[in-house]
């Protein structure tokens, strides 16, 4: 199976800062990793994904880093904005998708 | 294009009853997955359907079941409801399965009293 750990339940940043949210996973055979954003009252929204044959993938203001050696996944958000305030989940695929508990990102103006 | 639609949005049921939730995926998507979200356990995978067949199942009791129709719409059923089944039930649709980009609906909030 797979288990996904959370490093920090809440992260508070100032507008304009860069944010880093982390996840750790347990199964080295996991091969697909996804970050989701969930705003209050809404379903999770896909942000970015990465497969195990990559170490880094960039989107618009977001970067996902995958360190397979230590089984660690991170999401970096550049120039964080108040609209980025939400709960962020990582999900790891090994047979089925396993989700982390989520980090609540709070962005102050 | 229309997103994933889940109905109903809110539901209140009594212990022992059963409930059926519905999910209409994005047009063209063949995979529908169901998840349970609670404050204590977070998001947990229930099952995935692809082309009317259950392709994967999470670690939930047999009271939780589902099906998918030929138009890819999916339903999940929970029988003999327990208080602990109170949760937000989410479905996600994707083109080919959980290893491709998935789009979530807004969920059905089930309260068991």
Burial (CB count <10 Å: 0-12, 13-18, 19+), residue B51? exposed
What is residue A59's predicted lDDT score, i.e. its pLDDT? 95
A43-73: per-residue pLDDT in tens? Answer: 999 999 999 999 999 999 999 999 999 999 9
What is residue B19's predicted lDDT score, i.e. its pLDDT? 98
Lowest mean pLDDT across A1-15, A22-36, B13-27: A1-15
Nearest to A44 among B45, B58, B104 (CB): B104
Question: For chain B, what percent of residues have pLDDT higher than 70?
Answer: 99
Which tokens belong to A107?
């962005």
What is residue B89's predicted lDDT score, i.e. its pLDDT? 98
Residue B1 has pLDDT above 80, yes or no: no
Residue A78 has pLDDT above 90, yes or no: yes
B108: closest CA among B2, B23, B16, B17? B23
What is residue A3's predicted lDDT score, i.e. its pLDDT? 83
Residue A6 has pLDDT above 70, yes or no: no
Mutate to test the interface with B, among A43, A57, A91 (most CBs of B within 10 A): A43
Lowest mean pLDDT across A1-15, A76-90, B18-32: A1-15
User: Do the strands A103-108 and A10-14 form a parallel or antiparallel pair, or are they unpaired?
Assistant: parallel
| Residues of chain A found within 8 Å of residue B99, distances taken between Cβ atoms | 31-32, 93
Nearest to A99 among B43, B101, B105 (CB): B43
Nearest to B42 among A46, A49, A99 (CB): A99
Rounded alpha-carbon distances, angstroms, from residue B105 to A1, A100, B16, B32, B39: 26, 19, 27, 11, 18
Contact at 8 Å (CB) between B107 and B101? Answer: no
Residue B101 has pLDDT above 80, yes or no: yes
B16: closest CA among B83, B99, B95? B83
| Torsion of the alpha carbons at B86, B21, B16 and A99, rounded to the nearest 10 | -40
| Residues of chain A found within 8 Å of residue B90, distances taken between Cβ atoms | 43-44
Mutate to test the interface with A, among B33, B93, B102 (most CBs of A within 10 A): B102
Label residue A19 by pLDDT band (50, 70, 90). very high
> SS3 for A58?
strand
């Amino acid at each position: 199976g797979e288990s996904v750990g959370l490093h920090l339940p809440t992260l508070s940043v100032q507008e304009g800062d860069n944010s880093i949210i982390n996840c750790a996973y347990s199964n080295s055979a996991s091969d697909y990793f996804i970050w989701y954003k969930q705003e209050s009252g809404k379903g999770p929204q896909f942000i970015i994904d990465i497969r195990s044959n990559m170490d880094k993938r960039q989107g618009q203001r977001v970067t996902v880093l995958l360190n397979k050696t230590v089984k660690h996944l991170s999401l970096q958000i550049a120039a964080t904005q108040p609209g980025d305030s939400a709960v962020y989940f990582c999900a790891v695929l090994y047979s089925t998708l396993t989700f982390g508990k989520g980090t609540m990102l709070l962005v102050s103006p | 294009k229309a997103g994933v639609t889940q109905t109903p949005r809110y539901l209140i049921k009594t212990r022992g009853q059963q409930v059926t939730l519905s999910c209409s995926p994005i047009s063209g998507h063949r995979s529908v997955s169901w998840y349970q979200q609670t404050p204590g356990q977070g998001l947990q995978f229930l099952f995935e359907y692809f082309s009317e067949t259950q392709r994967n199942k999470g670690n939930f009791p047999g009271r939780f079941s589902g099906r998918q129709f030929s138009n890819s719409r999916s339903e999940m059923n929970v029988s003999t409801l327990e208080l602990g089944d109170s949760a937000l039930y989410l479905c996600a649709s994707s083109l080919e399965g959980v290893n491709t980009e998935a789009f979530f609906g807004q969920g059905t909030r089930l309260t068991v009293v």
